[in-house]
Structure 1
């Protein structure tokens, strides 16, 4: 414990409590994963942790200056009176948006089963290697990422002055709500498809214990007209999923990019865009050759603004890699169908879908590919 205390003493005051909480949650989910043989423990916390970290920074004036009990949030004195005397309107706006995000994700998580990808990964790796992945990636790295998602609120609460909301805050806040509405719709469309698929396949097998699918029971925006060909294909390609193979992932990344850039596009520094660069910082070539460390001030000036977009960059990197793994599983379950879907529809961007449409038309494969993706599979097969 003394070693941990000494280590945390070297952490800047604005990060002390988040680091303590992150270390505790990492240890807890890893131990629980060993005891229960279930590595989905962090998945259950995913919906809450970014909100907890964002709330910590947005509500700094509420916390005591010293922790009252283990893991009690506190506002270190070293943060200064200007940080603790009043609330940041910008940080409170971000907390409100992240709380809405939490409600959406909690609802979607509540009605889903556990993430099937961990079971697939466990089957592919030796037991000892999977446990290393469990400790390093599933428990530790994911918890660090979830902590990072709260850092944009730190910028607003501890670095920027607590001024009223600017037009950029309101515009980005409204855009975040639109993105969440699209994400909620894509979640519901996927849920509606699996409900239809489950009911159709049960009826095909003569089961009578499954309620028939009624699209009127679905949320607005998810009342799509699915066909038997959709159920036989095995995965959704309609609605928002006709424009992106993962519209929910696209919206998730877009939401956190908006949250990350809210303080960076505000009138107060730090800014995402360089307004000026002092040329006197650029050393001569001879000076660099004599002492390469003369480049350090230049590199700090160049990369300092990029440090503030680390949360969104890290999340996008995670989603890109995990999506590749997800699609490898789908490609194994539906080889020809998912191959056609990948050929016609972009992974994230609808613009890529438009480009792919032009490409398959140029190759003379438009009817065949679109027949598999959106039409009757049997006819499409004959056209191939």
Structure 2
């Protein structure tokens, strides 16, 4: 049995009915896979007989082991980063493929796969143009962390968080598609709500793309300015001298792309809640952990940035980290006027020094 027997729509998000009964499949899956490999047949049957949430979770564990080995061999800890933009979409495609194989309506999963594919295309392109897929490329923050963490402790950090936990997280982000799959038994057709959720997701992806493009154009202009000492068209010298972008979406949020990234997966979770008529469910674990992860990683990013650019602290005071805190954008702090010392003040200082000298001589 690979599919739960559910009598009510609300039960589609019930962990005890839709997840817990299939956990034993996780323990027996390795031996079954080995048996299929030995027989060289039956892989599709095994796939269909295994609950899609369990098989997806098992894949994330296997990938975690691959990331771990690759990181330790290459001493490069951005192995998960290279797969980050692809895996959630692959997992949603996995739920979609399983539904089709089981004869379950998949229109709603098609919609989820649509927005996820657009998300993957945007993030993969942005990561590629930044050189993320270049040989030896690594997130600069890992090097900084290694400077402050003992070598043995960092290896433990890689064995746990970097390789396995992040891999499982990428599956957990897509896990809300499972309750949507189950709910499709009761509401097989695409509803107006599904279209609305998909539209919101695509709008968030578009906003994220705009933020990335604004950042890319600014950084490109800054590099050109540093090489040629000429200000590129469309930019101001003061902005480039500042060193970080404060215009466009970045005038209202210090990290508009990060804000959209977190919201995208939280909206998918809310979509699953709406589809199953629940206020909350276990499927929120992935998006919640992602939000907590962004708090820590963004704090580290800003700590580094504030150490590089003097004006960044003023930017932090005015602009919210993710959500806008005011309707007006960032305003450059006024330059401090130099203190003007009048001639009369200088004369008074000289007279005061002379008086002190006379008193010392008299003593």
Fold match (TM-score > 0.5): yes
Matched, 1:110 2:128: yes
1:345 aligns with one of 289, 302, 319:
319
Q: Does the CA contact (< 8 Å) of 2:87 and 2:171 recur in 1?
A: yes
What SS class does the counterpart of residue 308 from structure 1 fall into? helix
**Structure 2 counterpart of 1:179:** 204
Distance 1:31 1:105 in 2: 25
Distance 1:370 1:137 in 2: 39
Matched, 1:51 2:89: yes
Normalised by the size of structure 2, how large is the TM-score?
A: 0.74
Q: CA deviation at 1:226?
A: 2.2
Distance 1:213 1:259 in 2: 42
Distance 2:150 2:219 in 1: 32
Alignment of 1:1-384 (within 5 A): 5-6=27-28, 13-62=51-100, 84-113=102-131, 114-161=138-185, 163-204=188-229, 225-266=234-275, 269=276, 271-273=277-279, 305-334=280-309, 336-350=310-324, 352-354=325-327, 370-372=331-333, 380-382=335-337
Distance 1:57 1:213 in 2: 50
Q: CA deviation at 1:200?
A: 0.5
Q: Does the CA contact (< 8 Å) of 2:119 and 2:205 recur in 1?
A: yes
Residues 261-295 of structure 1: CA deviation (Å, up to 9, x unaligned): 223223xx2x233xxxxxxxxxxxxxxxxxxxxxx
Give structure 1 stretches of 5+ with no counterpart: 64-83, 205-211, 216-224, 274-304, 358-368, 373-378
Q: Does the CA contact (< 8 Å) of 1:152 and 1:259 recur in 2?
A: yes
What SS class does the counterpart of residue 321 from structure 2 fall into? coil
Q: Does the CA contact (< 8 Å) of 1:246 and 1:347 recur in 2?
A: yes
Give structure 2 stretches of 5+ with no counterpart: 1-25, 32-49, 132-137, 340-363
What SS class does the counterpart of residue 380 from structure 1 fall into? coil
Residues 61-94 of structure 1: CA deviation (Å, up to 9, x unaligned): 455xxxxxxxxxxxxxxxxxxxx11332111110
CA RMSD of aligned residues (A): 2.5
Q: Does the CA contact (< 8 Å) of 1:195 and 1:213 recur in 2?
A: no
Q: CA deviation at 1:41?
A: 0.5
Assess, with a 3 A threshold, how the Cα gap between structure 1 residues 153 and 306 changes in structure 2: closer, same or farther.
closer
Q: CA deviation at 1:159?
A: 4.5
The number of aligned residues is 291
Which structure exhibits the higher relative contact order, with contacts defined as CA atoms closer than 8 Å and separated by 6 or more residues?
2
Assess, with a 3 A threshold, how the Cα gap between structure 1 residues 128 and 85 changes in structure 2: closer, same or farther.
same
Q: Does the CA contact (< 8 Å) of 1:260 and 1:308 recur in 2?
A: yes
Distance 1:150 1:8 in 2: 23
